[in-house]
Amino acid sequence: MQSNGSTTTRKFPFKIRMVPDELNARLLNDFHGEKTGFVQVGDDKWFFPSKYLKAAEHFYAFEARPSDVWVATYPRSGTTWTQEMVWMLCNKLDAVAARSEPLTKRFPFFEFHIYMHDLMKQQFLSENPDPADQQFIEAASTPAYEVLSAMSTRRFIKTHFPISLLPPSIFETGAKVIYIARNPADVVVSYYHLNKLYRTQGYTGDFATFYDYFENNLTAWSPYWTHLKQGWNARHLPNVLFMFYENMKADLPGTVRKVAQFLDTPLSDADVASLTEHLSVESFKKNPSLNGQELIKVGILNPSAQGFIRKGQVNASGEELTDEIRERLRKWTERNLEDTDLRFPVT
């Protein structure tokens, strides 16, 4: 097929298969936001909802620009934190502008529309008769590759796709990619709460069941370890900056300086201090442009679930991780680190 706004033809290189019927039925029973079923992509069996089938070639053929900045993570690995840092660095630390427009608009989520099942979209529309709210829902369900292709200004793009599913044009053009990795214990607890928070996911089960899905690569954007290893293996590319969430948390001013250097945006010491304060968890929770207020308003977020900005801590997994699950996590981690020099920072 032809890519958006380009004569380049790219063939999507991976096979896409529906998950087996029995497993699909169990998943649909636990994840109410998806109404059709789930697919697995390629030999790595990347896990996505059914709308990925029709969107895969569009994602792959998307034409990146040299000026693009992509933030790529497995979910709940410091994505929002890094997005806001990047946007501020590339926009002269304009906090007033940042607060006046939601991050979801300033920094489009490349693949979000595949999580907005058509039936869920209709439900959101029926719940929100106000024309402005309906317009917002329509915009949220529009493929970001269409929105981004029409943009004339510099583009900042969020994605949870692994390196292998990103548009090859990113690496051909030298567009900047910042990849963040976070330890699996903190990720899985935060991701559990996110799946309960987003009605587009609509997870209704308990944590033990969710952990089982996570370990067996049956949560969106999994497999987790393959995702991280691909990011780690890309760290030497000139257009890729790989960072650990744990190091970001331990030294945020140092992280700000590192990202500023990568993006070629010089900062004074006063700038670093100002941006560090802007990026604090306390500031995030009070900032309506970052904490999903626009999604709460139209009911995409479940008001009874924990908020989008949670603890932002390291090794704070808490009561969800029983001794049994901690031991499973330990063994799972050991098995998956055997063939790589990837190691999480000791905190």
Place of tokens 């300086």: 257
Contact predicate 39/146, CB 8 Å: no
Find the catalytic residue in 113, 117, 160, 227: 160
Do the strands 69-73 and 176-181 form a parallel or antiparallel pair, or are they unpaired?
Answer: parallel
Place of tokens 């670093």: 272
Q: Has 32 been annotated as catalytic?
A: no
* Per-residue three-class SS string for the chain: CECCCCCCECCCCCCEEECCHHHHHHHHHHECCCCCCEEEECCCCEEEECCHHHHHHHHHHCCCCCCCEEEEECCCCCHHHHHHHHHHHHCCCCHHHHHHCCHHHHCCECCHHHHCCHHHHHHHHHHCCCHHHHHHHHHHCCCHHHHHHCCCCCCEEEECCCHHHCCCHHHHHCCEEEEEECCHHHHHHHHHHHHHHECCCCECCCHHHHHHHHHCCCCCCCCHHHHHHHHHHCCCCCCEEEEEHHHHHHCHHHHHHHHHHHCCCCCCHHHHHHHHHHCCHHHHHHCCCCCCHHHHHCCCECCCCCCCCCCCCCCCCHHHCCHHHHHHHHHHHHHHHCCCCCCCCCC
Nearest to 158 by CA among 115, 108, 195: 108
Nearest to 156 by CA among 171, 128, 176: 176
| Distance (Å, whole) CA 76 – CA 220 | 12
* Catalytic residue list: 160
